[in-house]
Each structure stands twice: as structure tokens, then as C-alpha cells.
Structure 1
Amino acid sequence: MSRVTPGEAADTVQREELAMRRMTESLVEDLSDNVPADQVTSAVGAAHHRFAGKPIREFVPILVERIVRTELADPDPTVRVPAPATTVRATTPDPDPAPATAPETDGERRSLVSRRGVLPLSIGAVTVVAAVAAGVILLPGGADAPAAETPVAAATTVRGVVGSEKMAFFEDERVVKVLADNGVKVEVEPAGSRQIATTVDLGRYDFAFPSSSPAAERIQRQRNITAKYTPFSSPIAIATYRPIADLLTAAGVIKPGPVATFDMNRYLELAGTGVQWDDLPGNTTYPVAKNILVSTTDPRSSNSAAMYLSIASYVANDHTIVRGATAEQHVLPALSKLFLAQGYTDNSSEGPFTQYLTNGMGPTPLVCIYEAQFVEAAGAGRIKPDMVLTYPTPTVLSSHTLVPLTGTGDVIGKLLTENPELRRLAAEHGFRTGDNAQFTAIATERNVPVPADLIDVVDAPAYDTLEHLLDGVANSYN
């Protein structure tokens, strides 16, 4: 057995103290109508003392909360962390155990999520892990005894479908460890965000994690779910190369500065009139007979293309968010041109960005990406000196929104939103988590100029309008 260093022991103590403080504050708030605050804190202290000297500490706050809620007879013990639903006896495992007290069907679990916004976990595996890890077995009357020789159950497996740009985050060993420390193992599969909202069989998953709020809203509507989490976000950006940036600077599209911007109004003028690269005056670096177009994903399946379409529709509609059938029909011809002339497009944002990183400016002189992809690639040493990140003016903030489909999915949403280590790791993967100082420090360390505060940001059209625009573009392919 490996020895615990003094530093690791101190970290464990600090984490437990922080968890205990948060849990105590939560209990005081939840029980304030019926129990004085000093009685709650006193009960917490007494329950915590019963675990003094126990070897493994991760689940102590969970067990303390359960004890206090039981002792103070909370009529609605909705907890903010996974907690055992019943006390545990030191008995021989039942070879054919009865079902746990959690809802038995996905429908029942989703119903609870939609009514309350959160779902208390009552998972037998977590109960056994918590009790055994704490080194005690809870008995009637609150007494404790040495743990029985019961095997520790495996972490609860939670399955999700996510936008491809988040795969590297979930596959990061550090992320896997933090989730495991919280009793869960997450298995994810990638899909385009609009695919997640329209064609993916969500009955196979515990959570859906598309890359935008419109896609999440569609899922919520279809499945009658009100709960959602937005742990991080990323603005749409345009990646290019220094020679292309110089050409477009002369053409009035790119405006250099501490953070380069990409003038969408000027770009739409060039794209709308069919200007080609070899039409640009003095172009000797990229004299190609191709239309000046930003490479995107497929708007019929991918969120990044839908967000790009949102920006273009705003500019094409005289810098006004598109509303109503008349405005939709007004902008559709210009929007369709931006996609039809591209030829083949990928279903997820990973495809065109990988081409950008590996194939040079020949096939992809301009590519629509998430800012997070560029910042993450810089951390991996994949950004070359001639690669340039620009920000469309205006841009759209893509809010990565998790929709819990089951109770365990709800736990993942809470962890991603509230766990400080997961938030820090998300920032390392290029996502904005609300801590601008943390994000800009990471980007600066990687020599990626980013705006600390996003100012020229517009909202995507309303859910129904965006669907009409996407369907209109899709119909133009036929």
C-alpha cells in the first residue's frame, strides 16, 4: 500500500473541511423553517465527531448529512451530493437484492427531474461505497461498528452523449480521477449538437451535453425536463493563417490589434457577390480561383455551424435578430450561399479544425471553430507560429448546456458546475467557466491573444426561428 504524504493528507483535510462547510450551510438553509441554526450546527458537529480517526474520508460529509437529516426529521431530504437513501446493516450480501429505492424507470426519473429541477440519488452502489469507505456501518439508533468484510462496489457508471469538442475534456485522466473521487465513472460518446437534439436515441444515456442552449432547449421540450446546467461556454471564432490574415486585412475584413477581429459585414459583402481569392488586389500569396468562404460544419447536424448562421443572419438582417417569417425569408438566400458553395462539410466541429491543424491553408484558409479548440490545441503544442485566431464582430457565445436525463446525469451536471477542480480543468481545455482571470491567464501562458471580456456578442435567434433558418438552409441542399 502506498503511503500518504503530508501534503496529500493536508489536501484531504482541506477538501473535507470545505465540503463540511458547504454541507452545513446547505442544511441550515434547508431546515431553517423548522430547526434553529445552532441546533443544526451542533448536530453536524456531533455526527462528524463519530467519524474521527476513520481511514478514508471522501464520503464522510455525505454520511454526516444523512445522519443529521435523519435525526432532525427533515421531511424532504433532497441533498446536494449523492447520499445513501437508507441505513446500512452489516449483513451478507443478498445474491438477488431488491431494487434500490431510486425511481425504477427512466420516465419516473425524468419526471422527478422536471418537477424539482434536481433529483436526490438513492443508489445502492453509492451507499455501500460510502459506508465501507468511511470505515463504519450505520446501525439503528445512530450507533456505529467496525465495517464488515464487504467488497467495495465499483463507481456508478454514467453515460452521456456530448459535442465532439468536449471529448478531450472527458478523456483527460485528471478529469476521470476527480469524477472517480466523487463516486462516478463517466462514459461519453460524441455527436453533433443538432444530432443530439434531433436524431440520437437519448433513452440510452443519463445526460445530453450539446454545445448550445437552443439544442438543449429542444431536448428539454421534447422530454419535458426543466433542469439544465451550463458549466462552461466558448465564443465562435475564425481561425486562419498569417498570409490570409494579411490579405483580408488589406480587403477590410480582418482588423488587427491585440485581439484580431473579423468584420462579418464586410465578409458578407465579398461572399455575397462571389469575390474569389484571386480577385483580391495584389494577391500573390494565395491566388486561388475559389470563393472567399469560411469553412464550417454541416448546419443540419452541428452546433458550430448553427452559431455561425446565427451571426450571419443577424448581420444580413441589418444587425437585428431575425424574428418572423418575413425576416427569415429575407436572409435565407444570403445564408444558403455561405454553406452551399463549401461542398462536403463534417458533422462535428472536430473535423474542420483537424484539417486546419494538419493540412495548412490550401484547403482551409478560413475555418469556423470554438475559441476553446484553439486554446486547447495551443496547450498541446499544436498551434504553429503562422496560425491566427480572430473573433467575428459580432460573435455568439456558445453555452455548453447539460440536460440531465436521469438522476445520475443530474449529479454530473452539479459536479461540472460546482467542483472547483473540474472548473479549473475545463479552463485548461479552453472553456470559459465564468472565472475570466483564470481563463485569460491560461491563454496568455499559451501565447493566445483572447479578449478578457466579450463585448460584441449577440444572442442566437429564438429556438423556433433558428430551426426554421436551419431547415431552410437544409432544403437548399436538395
Structure 2
Amino acid sequence: MAVDAAREEKALREVTNRLVDDYGEAHTQERVEAVVGAVRSRFTGHKVREFVPILVERIARRELAHPGSKTEAMTVVPDKSPSITLGDNSNSDSRNLQDILGKVTANKKLVGAVAAGVVVVLGVTVALSVRQPDSAPASGAPAALTVVHGVVGSEKSDFFADPKVADVFKKHGLQVDIDPAGSRQIATSVDLSHYDFAFPSSSSAAERIQRQRGVSGKYTPFSSPMAVATFKPIADLLTAAGIVTPGPAPAFDVQKYLELAEQGTQWDQLAGNTSYPVSKNVLVSTTDPRTSNSAAMYVAVTAYVANDNTIVRGAKAEDYAVSRISRLFTRQGYTESSSDAPFKEYLAGGMGPIPMAWIYEAQYVDAAVHDQLKPDMVLMYPKPTVLSQHTVVPLDDKGDSVGKLLATDPDLQRLAAEHGFRPQDPSLFTKVTAEHHAPVIPDLVNVVDPPDYDTLEHLLDDVAKAYGN
């Protein structure tokens, strides 16, 4: 129970931080915190807690965006269970919540679905949806837009929320609404019948979706190598330990790091450590490999190195690799289900909670473009690294039109570069990183291929078993 409470507190802190970022110009931080606290209080005493942060964020956003207005209705559509409607934010709100949570408590199937993180539960688009403006369309613009629904890796939420991206789609007669999720979640537990396209962050997750849905088409509009976000004092410590090679874009030696981690070395055991004398294992913080593609890419890289710098093939190699890398995950404690939250914590929290974070390069570049980096923040490239191929899997004709535009429209390709992704034209990415002084390696050489689809799934399943649940 204590673990569940800690997770809820962590999730609600992240909700508050997101709302402060989004509504800081209109409301003080104290006002945002007060709204979150007031909304949260409506759920006091209810035993089912898994979806409380989702509802709190949804209701709080409505109240901050339209102070004094009623909260619009939200429909719970859990799999094939009967629908339940959450009423408006009137005096009867508490009574409605009591009824809903009572029904949810009695429905164990629903609780399991929520706990698994199925994005379509509650029918609520939690992250920023790209919506048609209320104003009338400009002269010559289409009178009506075709709405296209997609589920995308969470690291692409800001891209789809960009008004400039929405405008490009609008020129083509489209309104693209998205739900964010961990990429492995998209491939394993999300009900894709609700969507026109899926946009996970790797070719492996896309391949699984294609197999399940019987889809042959796909688009890969952009990519992003995996990297490690850290801080200068940490990079200096690891340089002294022989793990990091300094430079404009420092190199992080995965082989030496794995050897250090296998010994259970803690930060305060590193020689000459006065900048981060903490009794915690020297570990890169990742997301949950059971749900997230970024963690799956971490498995791919570390398994390759653990397997004597060879792509893992066969049961014997899988078992050996897992025996060496599973502790890289199980010693971390609680991990997030997708990559957006831990990177935001890295940006906001400093090196105390997350001295090293496994991220997409695009996240760091995007933060540089939007002036979110602090002077002591450092981007390191793993040696070797792996390329995450962001892949659109169209599930119908509408989804196909979105995938085709993302891959071919020059404005969308340029905007992808502005959000840190490497589009099909490398010069677009080079231009953005040069303008914003982002310390990247334009042409990566030490890049390995992930194992084939089935092998990676076996590795992820075996790592998941190491958690003991």
C-alpha cells in the first residue's frame, strides 16, 4: 500500500508541474496547487487509486482553462464493460464520483485494465490534443476537418501539441487528436480499435502492431538515437572512473559501466567523490521495460555489450545476457511507464533524484531549442548506442494520410527537426542544433542494430520476470 501511495504522490507532483508549465502565465503556482488539491480532495477515502491522477489532471485542466465553468462530461469505456458517465463539476459531483468509484471497486476487471495502463480507459485524452481552433477557417481553407485519432509514444506529445504542426495538418484538411502511451504499451495492451494510427518509437514495437493487426504499410518519418542525460559533476566523476571520455559530446562506455554496475558500486565509493557522495548504486535511470520503448532500447544496447559485443541470438545467449543486465533494472526501484515523465524530472529536479537518465536524443535537443537546459546539464552518447526509428503504423486510410504527410511534407519534417528529431533530410537537424548550440554528434558511427523482434521480446519478458511479479 505504501508503494501505491508513493506512486500516486509522485504522479500528482508531476501533474502539478505540468499544469504550472501550461498555465503559469494565467495562474500563480499557488493557484494551480490549490486547484489540484481541491480536485484531489474529491477522491479522499476511495480505495481504487490507479486512475486518480488522470482524473485530477483532466478536471484541473478544465477548471484552470475555464474558471467557474462546469467540467465537461467524461465517459468511462473500459473494454467491453458497461459505460459509466462522470457528471459535471456541480454540487452533485461528489455524489457522482462516489457512485462511479463504487462501481469501479466492484468491477475487478476494470481495475485490472486501469492498472495495466490501457490508454483508452476513461476515454480521456490525458495529454495535449491537437484541436481545431474555435475561430472560423480562413478564406480558402476547408470548411470541415477530418478528425484522425492516433496513439503515440509520449515523447512525441509536444510535437503534436505544437500549433504549427496542427496548422500544417489543417492545410491538408485534417485534425489530429492523439493519446500518449509507452511504446511497448501501444504494442501490447492498448485497444487499437479506437485509433486510426499507432506511432510507437521503434521498429520492433511497430512490427508487433503490424503482425497483430495484419497491416503491411508503415512510415518512418524521423528517428532519434538513445543517449544519457546527466550533469557536469557526474560526468567528471565518471571520467575519473574511466567510464566517460570527455569531449563536446562525451562518450559513455557501456562495457565499463556494466562492469561497475555488476559489482554493485555506489556513488560514494567512487574515488575522490565529493560532489555526489550518495549511498545509491551507480545506475542509469530508465523507464519500465515492461511498457516503454526507451527501456527496450536500453535492453538492446546492454544485452549486446553483455553478449561480448554481439547481437543476441538464441536461448543460451538470451539467458546469459539477461543474467548480466537484469540488475540494471531491478536495483532502480520504481520506474515510469513512458519516457516523458522522467526527463521532465531530470529537467526540474537536478542531479539529486536522477544523476543519469536514459533518454531520446530528441528530448534533449527539444529542451535546448526551448531554453530549458541549465548550464551544468550534459548529454552523453552511449558507446555503442542504438537508433530509435519512430514508426507510424496506419490502421485505416485516415491514419495512412497522417503517416504519409509526416514522412513527406517539408513543413512537418522541418518542425520535427525543431522538436529534436532527426528527419529524413539530415541538414534540417544540423541547422536546428547549430542555431541552438545543442552538443550533438551529427553523424553517429558507433550504432548497433537491436536484436530481431522475437529475441527482443524474449529479453524483455525475461527481464520482467526478474522483478518477481
TM-score w.r.t. length of structure 2:
0.69
Q: Helix, strand or coil: the match of 1:396?
A: strand
1:302-332 Cα shifts (integer Å, max 9, x gaps): 0000001100000000000000000000111
What's 1:326 paired with? 316
How many pairs are equivalent?
A: 330
1:47-196 → structure 2 map (5 Å cutoff): 153-196=143-186
Which structure would you say has the larger Rg?
Answer: 1
- Give the distance between the partners of 1:370 and 1:278, measured in 2 at CA: 28
Structure 1 CA distance for aligned equivalents of residues 433 and 334 of structure 2: 32
In structure 2, the partner of 1:242 is 232
Match of 2:390 in 1: 400
CA distance, structure 2, for counterparts of residue 267 and residue 448 of structure 1: 25
Query: Residues 67-104 of structure 1: CA distance to partner in whole angstroms, max 9, x if unpaired?
Result: xxxxxxxxxxxxxxxxxxxxxxxxxxxxxxxxxxxxxx
Q: Match of 1:167, SS?
A: helix
Whole-Å Cα distance in 2 between the matches of residues 229 and 196 of structure 1? 16
| Contact 2:413–2:424, Cα closer than 8 Å, also in 1 | no
In 1, the alpha carbon distance for the partners of 2:352 and 2:158 equals 27
Pairing of 1:255-274 with structure 2 (within 5 A) = 255-274=245-264
Rounded to whole Å, the distance in 2 between the matches of 1:219 and 1:435 is: 27
In the TM superposition, 1:265-414 aligns within 5 A as 265-414=255-404
Paired residues of 1:163 and 1:191 also in contact (CA < 8 A): yes
How far is the alpha carbon of 1:258 from its aligned partner? 2.7
Q: CA deviation at 1:448?
A: 1.4
Take 2:281 and 2:208, find their aligned partners in 1: how far apart are those partners? Answer: 34
Q: Partners in 2 of 1:201 and 1:241 — Cα distance?
A: 39
Q: Which stretch shifts more, 285-294 or 255-264? A: 255-264
The CA RMSD over aligned residues, in Å, is 1.1
Partner of 1:290, secondary structure, is coil
CA contact (8 A) 1:436 1:453 kept: no
CA apart distance, 1:437: 2.2
Structure 1 residue 418: deviation in Å? 0.4
Find the counterpart in structure 2 of residue 455 from structure 1: 445
The letter for the 1-side match of 2:249 is V
Partner of 2:272: helix, strand, or coil? coil
**Structure 2: how far apart are the matches of 1:227 and 1:434?**
18
CA–CA distance in 2 between the matches of 1:133 and 1:405? 30
Residues 1:438 and 2:421 aligned together: no
Counterpart of 1:421? 411
What is the alpha-carbon distance in structure 2 between the residues aligned to residue 424 and residue 448 of structure 1? 17
Distance 2:431 2:439 in 1: 10
Partner of 1:108: none
What are the superposed Cα offsets for residues 345-394 of structure 1, whole Å, 9 maximum, x if unpaired?
A: 00000111011000110110000000000000111111000000000010
Within 2, Cα distance between the matches of 1:195 and 1:437? 33
Q: How does 1:7-26 map to 2 (within 5 A)?
A: none
Could you tell me which residue of structure 1 aligns to residue 34 of structure 2?
none
SS of match in other structure, 2:147: strand
Q: Distance in 1 between matches of 2:392 and 2:264?
A: 39
Structure 1: runs of 5+ lacking an equivalent: 1-131, 135-151
User: Does 1:230 pair with 2:220?
Assistant: yes
- The change in CA–CA distance for 1:313 and 1:153 in structure 2 (over 3 A counts) is same
Q: Which structure 2 segments of 5+ residues have no match? A: 1-138
- 1:177 & 1:420 partners in 2: Cα distance? 13
Normalising by structure 1, we get a TM-score of: 0.68
Shift of the alpha carbon at 1:133?
5.2
For the residues of structure 2 that align with 1:251 and 1:133, how far apart are their CA atoms?
Answer: 63
Q: 1:199 aligns with which of 166, 189, 195?
A: 189
Aligned residues with identical type, % of pairs: 62
Q: Distance in 2 between matches of 1:447 and 1:466?
A: 35
Deviations 1:88-127 (A, max 9, x none): xxxxxxxxxxxxxxxxxxxxxxxxxxxxxxxxxxxxxxxx
Amino acid at match of 2:403: G
